[in-house]
Amino acid sequence: PVPGDLDGHTVELDRAHVFHSWSAQAALSPMVVAGGLGCRVWNHAGREWLDFSSQLVNVNIGHQHPRIVAAIQEQAALLTTISPPTANLARGEAARRIVDLAPDGFTKVFFTNGGADANENAIRMARQFTGRDKVVSTYRSYHGNTGAAVVATGDWRRVPNEYARGHVHVFGPYLYRSEFWATTPEEESERALRHLTRVVESEGPASVAAILLETVPGTAGVLMPPPGYLEGVRALADKHGIMLILDEVMAGFGRTGQWFAFDAYDVVPDLITFAKGVNSGYVPVGGVVISDPIAAHFDDIVFPGGLTYSGHPLAMASIVASIDAMADEGIVDNAARIGRDVLGPGLAELAEKHDLVGEARGAGVFWALELVSDPESREPVAPAVVGRAKALLLERGLLPFVADNRIHVVPPCVVTDDEAGTALAIYDDALTLLTKELS
Ligand code: PLP
């Protein structure tokens, strides 16, 4: 029998049987999403929200893009699964499209199930290639929920999971909350580089296999690298024969208004990890784009890694369709334009108008609003205030992404001017109300 209240039934089933990520289970009350299209999602009762979260910031092409849905359906009718040692047309086409977007000197892709194992395998490749052990990453980072990736992660999720060895952490640049008493982006860049250099020197550069960075740390707060930082990291890595791994899992495939976020900087990594936006998560997938010297290292030496679903045909077909649709429909350019002309100025206006907003920063469709209780001291608001902001936004028909004291403004790259305008008005309204409630 079909229950009358499908939303209620969905929550009941969920609470009875589904164990959720990163949560104490007892108090959970998950939102029901039954369907979606473009930048909108809805529940079974037909209540609709503007999705300014892109879920876990991966639905870059929007919900239910017809070309990707059709490509998955066609591939499913042809061949739903095949083992990695075979050659498969969709897999080759997907890999070729990805390396075509990468800088010169990248010709091979290793496909994984998602972003964590992309980082896991990039770390493994760097260790195998250099014969070294240590991996340096930042405290303000998230790299995924597997052995090495979660220990490379900087945020709280690392601490209960520290079972991998050889990981060292540094502070990256974050001018708004500088660890280096810096007051300009140039100072922040220079001092963060000096700190990284001293840590690498003190760890013994010849023991460091890789420096692993999110090009733009995402969940940690959309921390745009200041001028010269990534270039300086590259120079430091070159000096000591250290591999530079750029994690493009969240920042890549259009999010910043570039195909790869590092395209905006004068830096080329040795390994690029990707997932999320490569196919907007329509089928779980991730991977490592491998520079030629590292790929060549494994021409005659066995690469000690593999996955049953590496290069899964449904994921591969969805990547091909997604990259083609993004290119044909100018979706990356749209993200850049919306960021430059609509979200950038609109969010700056909100920061100007509301004392609650300490800073608005970002690019493309990758923005964060820092909510502070005092703009002078920059004291982050309490978790309950962010919870209230989320509730006010949901009531007004906007599905937000919140982390710590921040609202991340992260719609799909296909967001229209109208949708961005509607969202800005909703943020404004919610912030006005929240300010009143707090005074
Ligand atoms: N790297 C970054 C930058 C991420 O944001 C995430 C997920 O949020 C991951 C890696 C892990 O990806 P996945 O959850 O697909 O394993």
For the chain, domains (ranges, CATH) are 31-64+330-438 (3.90.1150.10), 67-328 (3.40.640.10)
- The CA distance from 321 to 72, in Å, is 9
> Best substitution site from 142, 145, 157, 282 to test ligand 1's pocket, by max atoms within 8 Å of Cβ?
142
Pocket residue to mutate for ligand 1, from 250, 307, 410, most atoms within 8 A of Cβ? 250
Is the minimum distance from the CB of 275 to ligand 1 under 6 angstroms?
Answer: yes
Q: Is 403 in the pocket of ligand 1 (CB under 6 A)?
A: no
| Residue 414 main-chain phi, psi, to 5 deg | -90, 5
Number of CB atoms found within 10 A of residue 159's CB: 10
The tens digit of pLDDT for each residue in 325-378 reads 999 999 999 999 999 999 999 999 999 999 999 999 999 999 999 999 999 999
C-alpha to C-alpha distance for 343 and 93, rounded to whole angstroms: 34
Which residue owns the Cα nearest ligand 1 atom 1? 143
Mean pLDDT, all residues of the chain: 97
Cα dist. 192→166, 233, 268, 435 in Å? 21, 10, 19, 35
Q: How far is the CA of 286 from the centre of ligand 1 (A)?
A: 9
Residues in Cβ contact with 138 at an 8 Å cutoff, skipping those fewer than 6 apart? 154, 169, 170, 171, 172, 213, 214, 217, 220
146 within ligand 1 shell (Cβ under 6 A): no
The model's pLDDT over 59-106, given as tens digits with 9 standing for 90+, comes to 999 999 999 999 999 999 999 999 999 999 999 999 999 999 999 999
pLDDT tens for 397-409 read 999 999 999 999 9
Region 240-248: what's the mean pLDDT? Answer: 99
User: Do the Cβ atoms of 209 and 130 come closer than 8 Å?
Assistant: yes
Confirm if 243 and 210 have CB atoms less than 8 A apart. Answer: yes
Å from CA of 249 to ligand 1 middle: 6
For ligand 1, say whether the CB of 214 is within 6 Å of any of its atoms: yes
Burial class of residue 85, CB neighbours in 10 A (0-12, 13-18, 19+): exposed
For 58-70, letters b (16+ CB in 10 Å) and e give bbbbbbbbebbee
What sign has the CA pseudo-torsion 102, 103, 104, 105? negative
How would residue 2 be classed by pLDDT, with cut points 50, 70 and 90? low
Q: What is the pLDDT of residues 20-30, one digit of tens each?
A: 999 999 999 99
Using the atom order of ligand 1, give the atom closest to the CA of residue 117: 16
The share of the chain scoring above pLDDT 90, in percent, equals 99
ipTM above 0.90, yes or no: yes
Residue 219 CA, closest ligand 1 atom number: 5
> If you measure from the C-alpha of residue 320 to the centroid of ligand 1, how many angstroms do you get, rounded to a whole number?
21
Residue nearest to atom 10 of ligand 1 (CA): 143
Ligand 1 centroid from CA 205, angstroms? 27
Going by the DSSP 8-state scheme, the letter that residue 404 receives in this structure is: T
Span from the CA of 269 to the centroid of ligand 1 (angstroms)? 18
β-pair partners for 137: 169
What percent of the chain is predicted at pLDDT more than 70? 99
What is the CB neighbour count within 10 angstroms for residue 212?
28
Q: Please tell me the residue having the least CA distance from ligand 1 atom 7.
A: 144
- Residue 427 pLDDT class (50, 70, 90 cuts): very high
Mean pLDDT of 176-187: 98
- Report CA(172)–ligand 1 centroid distance (Å): 18
Predicted local distance difference test score (pLDDT) of residue 375: 95
pLDDT, residue 4, reads 78
CA distance 411 to 424: 12
Does the predicted model carry a pTM greater than 0.95?
yes
Contact between residue 50 and residue 423 where contact means Cβ atoms under 8 Å apart:
yes
Six-digit token pair at 403? 């982390």
Looking at residue 1, its pLDDT comes to 42
Q: Which of 214, 276, 282, 366 to mutate to test the pocket of ligand 1 (most atoms within 8 A of CB)?
A: 276
Query: What's the CA dihedral at 120, 121, 126, 129 to 10 degrees?
Result: 150
Residue to mutate, 143, 219, 255, 285, ligand 1, most ligand atoms under 8 Å from C-beta:
143
For residues 129 and 242, give the distance between their C-alpha atoms in angstroms, rounded to a whole number: 10
Cα angle: 313, vertex 315, 319; to 5 degrees? 115
Measuring CA to CA, how many Å separate 149 from each of 78, 88, 128, 146? Answer: 35, 29, 16, 5
Cα dihedral value 159, 162, 168, 173, nearest 10: -30
Nearest in space to 95 (alpha carbons), one of 106, 105, 81 = 106
Q: What's the per-residue H, E or C state across 215-256?
A: CCCCCCCCCCCCCCHHHHHHHHHHHHCCEEEEECCCCCCCCC
Q: DSSP letter for 267, please.
A: -
Question: What pLDDT score was predicted for residue 189?
Answer: 98
- Return the pLDDT at 3: 58
Segment 207-236, tens digit of pLDDT: 999 999 999 999 999 999 999 999 999 999
